[in-house]
Structures are given as structure tokens and as C-alpha cells.
């Protein structure tokens, strides 16, 4: 029986996810410049030609990986896209972003590895900075409503804190108490503010 359009699309999405997952692993472990399209195709168990049906270049592949990972994080941040962060959304973001780091360490290893590869980071810098600027703006507004002095600096501090937490967990998961730290952040910014 011939496949339906939906079945073809599902197969296409599965192959794309396989390529991205394999690439994340290789880029994070071996470095972006050390991994070829041929190596990715071989490890993913597909032909090099098929790779180019999904991504026109290695640069397009890394841009897509980072773009999708950052979008996923931002969608957790302001899930209803109303430009306003509530206490509940803030708490959910902290919890879910911790879960994201735990569930997708490959992506975060790659993300942090990019900072030590400036030529590669330049490929994704503009999009990444745009998303993070929007997040800082929303956070500043959230902290301002909570009466926190210098909300812009607090927003940047909060972002740096989350980066540091994610980095430490990804690099040393067995020694880093992610759940305890998540609870401390929620207590600091939500529960203590309510008392």
C-alpha cells in the first residue's frame, strides 16, 4: 500500500531528528570543525546525499540545532506569548528549564562548546542574542513588578545564574544537585517575595 503524505512527513521528521541528534553528539564531543558531513551521515546510518536533502550545509545544520533549542527554551519562558511573566510562569520556567538541561545534555554540551569556538558561535550569535534580549526584557519587567531594585541587572544576573547552573550540571551531573538548586531559585524569587 502506498504511503500517505502524512507518513512521508513523519519519516522526514524522524530522519531530520536523527541527523540533528547525531550531529549534536558529534559536535559536542569532537568539536564542530572536526566533524564532517560524511562522519555525521555514517554515524546516523544514512547516505551523505540524503543528508543534503535535509540540510544544505554543516552551517545550516548547526544553525537549525541551536535555533530550535533556544526556541524551545523561550517557549517555556513565556508559554502564552503575552509578553508578561506571572509568578506561576516563572516557577514553571525554572522547573522546566532544569528538566530540559537534564533531558537534553547533548544540546547544552554543544551550546556551551560553541562559546569556545568563536567562528562557529558567530553563525548563531545574532539569533541567540535576539532571543536572550527578549528574555532579559521580560525578566526585567517581572522583577520590576516584584519591587526588586535594579531589575535589569537582576535579570542579567538571573540569566547568568541559569547558564552557570546548566553548565555545571552538564559538565558534572553526578556532583551537581540540580533539583536542590532549582528549589532554592524558586524560594529566592517567588516564595521569599510572597512572605
pLDDT band at 182 (very low <50, low <70, confident <90, very high): very high
pLDDT at residue 36 tops 80: yes
Helix, strand, or coil (residue 148): coil
Q: For the chain, which domains are there?
A: 1-56 (1.10.10.60), 59-194 (1.10.357.10)
Give the per-residue pLDDT at 111: 87
**What's the mean pLDDT in 150-163?**
95
**What's the mean pLDDT in 115-141?**
88
Reported as a single tens digit per residue, the pLDDT across 58-89 is: 999 999 999 898 888 888 888 888 988 999 99
Give the per-residue pLDDT at 43: 94
More confident residue, 88 or 29: 88
Q: How many CB atoms lie within 10 A of CB 96?
A: 18
pLDDT at residue 192 tops 80: no
Alpha carbon distance 112, 117 (integer Å): 9
pLDDT at residue 194 tops 60: no
pLDDT band at 193 (very low <50, low <70, confident <90, very high): low
CA atoms within 13 A on the CB side of 18: 16
Amino acid at each position: 500500500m502506498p504511503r500517505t503524505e502524512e507518513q512521508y512527513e513523519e519519516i522526514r521528521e524522524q530522519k531530520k531528528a536523527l541527523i540533528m541528534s547525531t550531529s549534536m553528539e558529534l559536535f559536542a564531543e569532537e568539536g564542530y570543525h572536526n566533524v564532517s558531513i560524511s562522519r555525521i551521515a555514517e554515524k546516523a546510518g544514512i547516505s551523505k546525499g540524503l543528508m543534503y536533502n535535509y540540510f544544505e550545509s554543516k552551517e545550516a545544520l548547526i544553525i537549525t540545532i541551536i535555533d530550535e533549542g533556544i526556541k524551545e527554551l523561550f517557549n517555556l519562558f513565556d508559554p502564552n506569548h503575552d509578553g508578561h511573566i506571572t509568578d506561576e510562569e516563572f516557577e514553571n520556567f525554572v522547573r522546566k528549564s532544569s528538566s530540559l538541561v537534564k533531558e537534553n545534555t547533548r544540546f547544552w554540551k554543544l551550546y556551551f562548546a560553541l562559546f569556545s569556538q568563536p567562528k562557529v558561535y558567530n553563525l548563531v550569535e545574532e539569533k541567540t542574542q535576539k532571543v536572550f534580549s527578549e528574555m532579559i526584557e521580560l525578566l526585567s519587567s517581572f522583577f520590576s513588578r516584584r519591587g526588586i531594585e535594579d531589575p535589569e541587572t537582576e535579570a542579567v544576573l538571573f540569566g547568568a545564574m541559569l547558564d552557570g547552573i546548566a553548565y555545571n550540571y552538564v559538565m558534572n551531573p553526578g556532583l551537581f544537585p540540580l533539583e536542590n538548586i532549582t528549589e532554592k531559585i524558586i524560594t529566592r524569587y517567588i516564595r521569599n517575595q510572597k512572605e
